[in-house]
Amino acid sequence: MAMGFQAGFTGNEIVRQLELQGIHTNFVALSRGNSRINVKVKGETETDLNGNGPDITEDEFRQLLDKISVLTGDDTLVLAGSIPACLSSDAYQKIMEQLADRNVKVVVDAERELLVKTLPYHPFLIKPNHHELGGVFGVSCTNEQEIICCIKEIQKMGARKVLVSRAGDGAIFGDEDGSVYRIQAPFGTVKNSVGAGDSMVAGFLKGYESSVPLALKFAASAGSATAFSEDLAERDEIINLLPKVSVSQI
């Protein structure tokens, strides 16, 4: 189920497109403005033209918290991306506070202060890239050992599982039992950076239903398949890449 805020004709279209894909929605409808449009101009370099969405009041944010409060221990909640400038940087923290006694698995795919403020609530999974992870500690994670050290430190701060993407160099995963895995991504021509990280999270959650190694293979396959496509990857593209992903415990 997709949750959040919708506004105007663009918000209505987002809901329509999601429901065409069979995805249930439960948005807070705003009475003013339009959900923002982000334009990605592709060429030799990629240019982002990201619009601004409508302001969200405290009452409207509270409505979202009320919707989220129905989640239970059988659910997984993904908190992804930046938040509107009109909301405080503890917005994700407030959501996790709301769910603190419900055993909901919460995945946080965010950076800087937005991520750090969720750590005392022990997110099930965080997925920074190596630059974002290093940024938490003011260091540069340029090699595997530095990444592993930062994974251990951020787990001390509260993260349970940490999946660190490294673009063409694959990923490093630190589990809550102390085990660390190296994921080698398949080779291919990168055509698209939009949605690759989100695809990686989705792949992990799909594979985690079976095992950690399969979760890591699906994560790398889904992220790579989207990066190698003009749009979000299709299921067959993801499945075809699975045999080309290697996972090894360090």
Q: List, by residue number, the catalytic residues.
A: 198
Q: State how beta strands 161-165 and 171-174 pair.
A: antiparallel
Q: Tokens for 125, please give them.
A: 């999974």
Q: What phi, psi does 56 have (nearest 5°)?
A: -115, 125
Q: Tokens for 184, please give them.
A: 């080698």
Q: Tokens for 186, please give them.
A: 């398949």
**C-alpha of 73 from chain center:** 20
Q: Tokens for 16, please give them.
A: 């329509």
Q: Tokens for 143, please give them.
A: 């090699």
CB 107 within 8 A of CB 126: yes
Beta bridge partners of 181: 173, 249
CB 223 within 8 A of CB 233: no
CB 131 within 8 A of CB 142: no
Placement of tokens 């075809």 in the chain:
240
CA–CA gap between residue 7 and residue 19 (Å, rounded): 16
Q: Tokens for 127, please give them.
A: 């997925």
CA–CA gap between residue 5 and residue 103 (Å, rounded): 24
